[in-house]
Amino acid sequence: MLAWIDRLRWRDVTLVALLLGLAPFLPEPHLWEKLKMLGAGTLVRPLDWFDLAMHGAPVLVLAIKGLRSGRSG
């Protein structure tokens, strides 16, 4: 089911995760801002949830790829 993640190149996944995870670079990355809002309980608007999903998805794919790579050796 997740074999498509194995076919992605590390370089590509890492680049996309860094670019989308840190965008916009100033004043504060959206992903960090949304995670702080989630922790504070202020992540209530649909746009905020969408931002969290869009900026966090590549980081999640990178984490899954790392876990799958660690299991297979």
Tell me, what's the pLDDT at 42? 95
Q: Distance between CA atoms of 37 and 68, rounded to whole angstroms?
A: 30
Alpha helices in 1-73 (DSSP H): 3-7, 10-22, 30-40, 46-72
- Whether 10 shows a pLDDT value over 90: the answer reads yes
CA-nearest of 62, 61, 35, 63 to 48 is 35
* Segment 34-64, tens digit of pLDDT: 999 999 999 999 999 999 999 999 999 999 9
Tell me, what's the pLDDT at 59? 94
- What number of other Cβ atoms are within 10 A of residue 19's Cβ? 12
